[in-house]
Amino acid sequence: MTASDTVAKRKTLRERWQRLRQGEQNPAGHQNMLLLIQLRWLAVLGQVSTIAFVVLVFDLHLPLPHMLEVLSCLIAFNIASHLRWHERRIATNAELFLALLVDVAVLTFQLYLSGGITNPFAFLYLMQIILSAVLLKPWSSWAIVAVTMACLAGLALFSEPLALPPDHNAGLLSLYVEGTLICFLLNAGLMVFFITRISSNLRAGDALLADLRQRAAEEDHIVRMGLLASGAAHELGTPLATVSVILGDWKRMPEISQRADMLEDIAEMEAQLQRCKSIVSGVLLSAGEARGESSIKTTINTFLDSVAEDWRKTRPVEIFEYRNLIGQDVPVAFDSAIKQMLGNVLDNAFEVSPQWLALEVRREGDLLLMEVSDRGPGFPDWMINQIGKPYQSTKGKPGRGLGLFFVVNVARKLGGRVWASNRAAGGARVTLELPLSAISLAPLTETAPGSEPPDYPTGA
C-alpha cells in the first residue's frame, strides 16, 4: 500500500464520512425505506379489511369505486418502490420525505371519501408525523406537520360527515368509539414495532459513522507517519553514504589493510551499513512505488520461509519454532509491507519473550493465517480489544503501540484482520489473517490431503 494509495483512500473515507454526517447517504435509510414499504403493505391490507367490514357488516354506503382507485394507486406506488429499493442502495432524506408525502396524500383522499375529519381513522396522521420525526431532518418533519395540518383543515371544510348509525349513547358499542379504539391500537402497535426497528437501523448507521470517522483519523495518522518515515529515510541517506565512503577509505589504509581483525570488523560494519541502506530503500519504496511495482513474485512457502529465516538470523532469540503447515504451494505477489507487518509482530513478541517464541503459518480455505506466540506476560484484558489503536501499549514508553497499529491497518487494506488472545499455558498469541485471493497469482485450489510438511523447530 503506497502513500498515494493511502492518501486517495483517506480522501474517499473522509468524503463518505462527511456525506454520512450530513445525512445525504445513510445506509440506515435503505432499511428504513424497506420498513416504510412493509408498513404501506399493512396499510393496504388494513384498508381492504376495513372497507369490506364496514360495508358488509354495518351496511355503510361508501364511494367504493373512488376508494378502490386510490387504493390501486397506492399498490402501484408500493410495487414501484419495492422494485426500486429491493437491492441495497442509499436512501436520501428527500426520498424518504417524498414517500411519507405520498402516504399522507393517500390517507387524505381515503378520509375525504369516508367522512373526513369525523372518521376515527383520522388519528392515523399521528403515525406519519411520528415517522417523519424519527426518519427525517427537522425541516422535513415540520413540513410533514404543516402538510397534515393543512389536510385536516381541508377535510374539516370540504368533506361530508360519515352517516353513522344513531348509537352515540351506546358507550363502547358506539361505532365511532369502536373505530377510535381500533385506530389507537393500530397506532400504538405499529409505532412500537416499527420505531423499535427504525431505532435499531439508526444505531447501526451511527455505529458505521463512528467507524468511518475512526478510520479516517487512522488514515490521517498513517499518512503523517509515512511522510515522517519518508523524510527520515531521505535524511539518513547522506550520513549513510558518508559512512560508506569512510569505510572504503579505511580498507585501503596500510595500517588497516594489513590487519585481518580490523578488516573483519570493517566487513561487519559494511554488512550492517548495507542492511541500513536496504531498510531505507524499503521505506522509500513503500512510500512512493505502486504496489505492483514493489511486489515480489514468489510462492507462499518460499516467501514465508525466507521471512522466518531472515528474522531468525538477525535476532538473538534462544528458541524460535517455525511451523509451516500450508502444504500445497501457491504462486503469490507479496508486498514489502507484508514482510514488515509480520516482522513487527515477531519483534513485539521477541521484546517480551526473548527466550522462546513461535511462528505458525497455515492455510484455511482461501485464508492465510500467521500465528505468533510467545511466553511473555500476555495482554491485559483491557488491551485485547484495543489492538491496533495507536499509542495503546503495555510497555509504558512514549510512541509505543504504533507497530501493531501499522500491522492492523496493512491487514485491513488487504481485506484481512488481526486479533490477539492470551495462551492458556502463559504468554500471548497474535493471529494475522489475510485472504489469499488478494495476493495469489493463480486460481486457488484446496490443499491436497496428506501434503502438509513436518514441523521445523529451530534452536538457538
Cβ proximity of 25 and 92 under 8 Å:
yes
Q: Which residue has the higher pLDDT, 458 or 219?
A: 219
CB within 8 A of 425, min separation 6: which ones? 375
Residue in 1, 27, 86, 58 with CA at minimum distance from that of residue 414? 1
| Whole-number pLDDT of residue 23 | 45
More confident of the two residues 194 and 133: 133
pLDDT value for 1: 45
The Cβ-side half-sphere exposure at 189, using a 13 Å CA radius, reads 8
How far apart (Å, rounded) are the C-alpha atoms in residues 334 and 329?
A: 14
Query: Residues of 56-75 as b/e, b for ≥16 C-beta within 10 angstroms?
Result: eeeebebeeeebeebbeebe
Residues 202 and 335 in one domain: no
Question: What pLDDT sits at residue 3?
Answer: 45
pLDDT at 11: 55
pLDDT computed for residue 70 by the predictor: 93
Q: What integer pLDDT is reported at residue 455 of this predicted model?
A: 41
Q: What one-letter code names the amino acid at 24? A: E
On the question of pLDDT at 408 being above 50, the answer is yes
Residue for grid cell 506466540:
373
Percent of the chain having pLDDT more than 70? 75
Same-domain check for residues 121 and 244: no
Asked whether 215 and 152 are in contact (CB, 8 A), the reply is no
Instruction: Tell me the pTM.
Output: 0.48
Q: Which amino acid is at 32?
A: N
Residue 54 has pLDDT above 50, yes or no: yes
CA distance 404 to 351: 14
Same domain (yes/no): 234, 347:
no
Amino acid sitting at position 317: V
Query: What pLDDT is stored for residue 429 in this prediction?
Result: 93
- The C-alpha atoms of residue 214 and residue 13 are separated, in whole angstroms, by 10
Residues 176 and 265 in one domain: no
pLDDT at 360: 95
pLDDT at 280 over 50: yes
Tell me which range, 136-150, 165-179, 277-291, is most confidently predicted by mean pLDDT.
136-150
Is residue 283 domain-shared with residue 339, that is, in the same domain? no
More confident residue, 288 or 432: 432
| Interatomic CA distance for residues 188 and 86, integer angstroms | 28
Average pLDDT for 132-159: 92
Q: Are 278 and 314 contacting, i.e. CB atoms less than 8 angstroms apart?
A: no
- Whether 338 contacts 370, CB under 8 Å: no
Res 206: pLDDT: 76
Cβ atoms 96, 84 nearer than 8 A: no
Of 253, 271, 291, the last residue of a domain is: 291
49 alpha carbon, distance to own chain's centre: 44
Instruction: Identify whether residues 377 and 261 lie together within a single domain.
Output: no
Q: Does residue 211 sit in the same domain as residue 267?
A: no
pLDDT grade, residue 211 (50/70/90)? confident
The mean pLDDT value of the chain amounts to 78
Q: Are residues 192 and 336 in the same domain?
A: no
Identify whether residues 68 and 197 lie together within a single domain. Answer: yes
**pLDDT given at position 456:** 35
Q: What is the pLDDT of residue 446?
A: 44
Name the more confident of 414 and 375: 375
Domain final position from 242, 263, 291: 291
Q: Which one, of 369, 373, 358, 350, lies nearest residue 426 by Cα? A: 373
Q: Are strands 356-364 and 319-325 parallel, antiparallel or unpaired?
A: parallel
First to last CA, the chain: 35
459 has a pLDDT exceeding 50: no
pLDDT for residue 441: 64
The pLDDT of residue 448: 37
Average pLDDT over residues 100-110: 94
Instruction: Please report which residue ranges of 253-290 form alpha helices under DSSP H.
Output: 254-257, 260-288
DSSP secondary-structure letter at 436?
A: G
What is the tally of structural domains in the chain? Answer: 3
- Over residues 350-388, the pLDDT tens digits come to 988 999 999 999 999 889 999 999 999 988 888 887 776
- The pLDDT confidence band at residue 285, using thresholds 50, 70 and 90, is low
pLDDT at 400 over 70: no
Residue 109, pLDDT score: 93
Most confident of 52-56, 76-80, 121-125, 423-427: 76-80
Final residue before a domain boundary, out of 291, 315, 346: 291
**Among the ranges 389-393, 424-428, 429-433, which has the highest mean pLDDT value?**
429-433
Indicate if 285 and 309 belong to the same structural domain. Answer: no
Q: Which residue has the higher pLDDT, 370 or 460?
A: 370
CB 93 within 8 A of CB 28: no
Q: What are φ and ψ of residue 424, in 5° steps?
A: -65, -30
pLDDT of amino acid 27: 56
String of DSSP letters for 343-357:
HHHHHHHHHH-SSEE
Q: 274 with 302, same domain?
A: no
291 pLDDT more than 50 = no
Provide the pLDDT for residue 234. Answer: 62
pLDDT value, residue 295: 59
pLDDT-wise least confident of 4-18, 73-87, 133-147, 415-429: 4-18
CATH classification at residue 405? 3.30.565.10
Range of the domain at 268: 224-291
Same domain (yes/no): 308, 374 = yes
pLDDT, greater one: 220 or 304: 304
> What is d(CA 315, CA 317) in angstroms, rounded to the nearest whole number?
6
